[in-house]
Amino acid sequence: MEAGEGKKRFLKQRQVLLFFVFLVIAQAGSKPRHYSVAEEMESGSFVANLLKDLGLEVDQLAARVPQVISKGKKMRLRLDRQTGDLLLNEKLDREELCGPIEPCVLPFQVLFENPLQFFQAELRIRDINDHSPVFLDKEIILKISESITPGTAFLIERAQDLDAGSNSLQSYTVSPNSHFHLKLQDSSDGVILPQLVLDKALDREEQPEIMLTLTALDGGSPPRSGTALVRIEVLDINDNAPKFAELLYEVQVPENSPIGSQVAVVSARDLDIGAYGEITYVFSQASEEIRKTFQINAKSGELLLRQKLDFESIQNYTLNIQATDGGGLSGSCVVFVQVIDLNDNPPELTMSTLINEIPENLQETIIAVFSVSDPDSGDNGRMVCSTQDDLPFFLKPSVENFYTLVTSTALDRETRSEYNITITVTDLGTPRLKTEHNITVLVSDVNDNAPAFTQTSYTLFVRENNSPALHIGGVSATDRDAGANAQVTYSLLPPHDPQLPLASLVSINADNGQLFALRALDYEALRVLEFGVRAADRGSPALSSQALVRVLVLDANDNSPFVLYPLQNGSAPCTELVPRAAEPGYLVSKVVAVDGDSGQNAWLSYQLLKATEPGLFSVWAHNGEVRTARLLGERDAAKHRLLVQVRDNGEPPLSASVTLHVLLVDGFSQPYLPLPEAAADAAQADPLTVYLVIALASVSSLFLFSVLAFVAVRLCKRDRSASLGGSSMPEGHFPGHLVDISGTGTLSQSYQYEVCLMGGSGTSDFKFLKPIVPKFLAQCEERVSEASSSFRDSFEFIKN
């Protein structure tokens, strides 16, 4: 039903379009609008805003699809559909477009669609002063007889200026001299002709040659100029000037005549004899175009073609020919050459609007709008347009050689989906020339089929830790419709779980249905990803279908084994106690580890890498149990360190290691005090270590005795001094002395003694011996007797 309503709306729009077509034809006779622009402006320069003249708003302009159409194939203007500004499409050269014609007007039309409308306008190209006057002959030679009386005027070859109006040639000047002054004469066609007027009689014997500089000035601002050298040769007396048999020659020459063809023969007669009777023919006041097109035989007066004539460019030429005798006298005539048109240009067809695709079941649909032209004249420029008779199309004439191609009946796509139309344009010249333009029209279908997936569900596989934007697969759907109705666009459906960030995980190419993983997937976090995909066509209204996509994430060996027991947290190591009476196979401990991966990536195996005493312990490969491998003996060390490796079965395999501390005891009732590595190693040292400890104790005792003797001597000296001199010791503390005796070899304990002597009122206190045994005995500060007792106890503990 929606498709039927769309067809009704389209039919109403077309009826309105046809109404406007007839309305435009009725308005075709309205006067064109006039605009102007200076020549040589850059491409894209602003000419005018057409919105007010068109009676449209900015938002209406783009919908009307305006086009600027001008004569010929060059598009010199364009219209900005967003602003309504008329802009230059290229630089315009007034001299190239119009030559000497003033004003220079370029007609154009603005074609609108929806509905069809023509806007007639003219663009006047204003001249700028971009050309200087140029003398075609840089040196002008005048031969003047000395018998010529003052007041005689001599015509000089004029300068050429391609500009027009006030920028064209306006005046001449001549360099100061005593024989001539300059006179300007206006010709019948408005051209200023320079003449030299003789002021003083010439004397060949006094001055046989005179050099003058002739300057041509235009009216521009600032003015431009050009110069030529005028060389005057003074001749003897010549009293007869050449005379032409006819002052006006009129000839007709067909265009495209071969180069070298004879155009005309001019003839002049001079009654003088000898050198004064010899006549030379030259062009007078000839433009550059005339000199490029024609040439004249200086002796015979035969006028020949130098290049082919083109009626479409120039229809006629006016040539001034001057005959000069040997004495400098001259006569002139005019040759008017009319170019005859030949049918040498086939018609041209310019397509303005073309609709290559139309819906079926519509009446009188406009297919194309075009114009025809033929640069020839008369019957050679008259044209007839036609199409094939067996097609449901016809041509409807419009204004100024514009035609519209319209369907004659409703088209049925099921009967025929494509038409090849040939538009033939034929002129009425002899022989007849024609131009054919082929148009292919497609009949579009109604959108009545939804896209269909090749599968109802898709299963894709991707390995975890993939690179971003990885292609993981794709979906595919087809549509039996044609054109835009069969163009399928793919998109992701919103996930059922609103917490799932589907848009950041997966993306789909809207054009081909290819799926990409936007970021690395983690098997341990997400093992299965399910989402829906929609395939929609671009019809109106759009139809769609859905499919289910299931992405399975494959595990990769990206997790190393993690040891749960024993803990490896950097604190004091956990020590396992083993009785020396344990049997072989006794369970010492068990290493417990896990792996975040799955499958064979999580299969763990255990291996003993390093042991204090190899062969004493073993690790079971599959469960991590640490057991004794043989009976324990008295010679086996009391403390052992085992390094166990846990390894998974991935590719490549990953591993972790853990350290076990084992202490051998006689029984679990035996007191156990964890010792640091240094203390344990010292306990297992050989008897030499014991001797070193005894030696250290002896030295310490000797040092203690020496200190006591030193103190006693000092006390005696102080009593003697007091009895002799009656003086007393100054009160205050003696500076403390710190004596550090450190053990060497395997004995790592350090003992420090602090001696402090105090002066007082006849009594002295002796503070002695602060023994420090790291990690085994607390610090203490006692008197001499208590220090001796503590030292003895420590010594006995180490010895044991």
Average pLDDT over residues 394-403: 88
Lowest mean pLDDT among 258-262, 295-299, 694-698: 694-698
Model pTM score = 0.45
Sequence-ordered strand ranges (E) for 72-222: 77-79, 85-88, 104-112, 117-126, 139-145, 153-155, 169-174, 180-186, 192-198, 209-218
Q: What is the pLDDT of residues 287-310, one digit of tens each?
A: 889 999 999 999 999 999 999 999
Q: What is the pLDDT of residues 461-514, one digit of tens each?
A: 998 888 898 999 999 999 888 788 889 999 999 998 888 888 889 999 999 999
Determine the pLDDT at residue 339. 94
Determine the pLDDT at residue 668. 59
Length of the chain: 800
Using CA atoms, how far apart are residues 604 and 622, in angstroms rounded to an integer?
7
Determine the pLDDT at residue 719. 64
Model confidence at 570, pLDDT cuts 50, 70, 90, reads low
* DSSP run (H or E) holding 576: strand 575-579
Q: What is the pLDDT of residues 581-614, one digit of tens each?
A: 889 999 989 999 998 888 888 899 999 999 888 8
ω into 222 cis (within 30 of 0): yes
Identity of the amino acid at 507: S
Does residue 763 surpass a pLDDT of 60? Answer: no
Q: What is the pLDDT of residues 219-233, one digit of tens each?
A: 888 899 999 999 998
Does residue 16 surpass a pLDDT of 60? Answer: no
Determine the pLDDT at residue 92. 86
Model confidence at 194, pLDDT cuts 50, 70, 90, reads very high
Q: Tokens standing for 365?
A: 């649909």
Share of the chain above pLDDT 90, in %: 34
DSSP SS3 for 793? helix
Does residue 386 surpass a pLDDT of 90? Answer: yes
Residue 230 CB neighbour total at 10 angstroms: 25
ω into 730 cis (within 30 of 0): no
Q: How far is CA 105 from CA 46, 125, 460, in A?
A: 17, 6, 71
Residue labelled with tokens 């939804």? 450
Q: What is the pLDDT of residues 110-135, one digit of tens each?
A: 888 878 888 888 888 888 888 889 99
Model confidence at 797, pLDDT cuts 50, 70, 90, reads very low
Does residue 373 surpass a pLDDT of 60? Answer: yes
Using CA atoms, how far apart are residues 659 and 617, in angstroms rounded to an integer?
13
Does residue 302 or residue 754 have the better pLDDT? 302
Does residue 458 or residue 113 have the better pLDDT? 458
Question: Alpha-carbon torsion 246, 252, 255, 260, what sign?
Answer: negative
Does residue 403 surpass a pLDDT of 90? Answer: yes
Measured in whole angstroms, the distance separating CA 3 from the mean position of its chain's CA atoms is 42
Residue 762: CB partners within 8 Å, gap ≥ 6?
none
Determine the pLDDT at residue 783. 36
Does residue 775 surpass a pLDDT of 50? Answer: no
Most confident of the ranges 90-104, 316-330, 681-695? 316-330
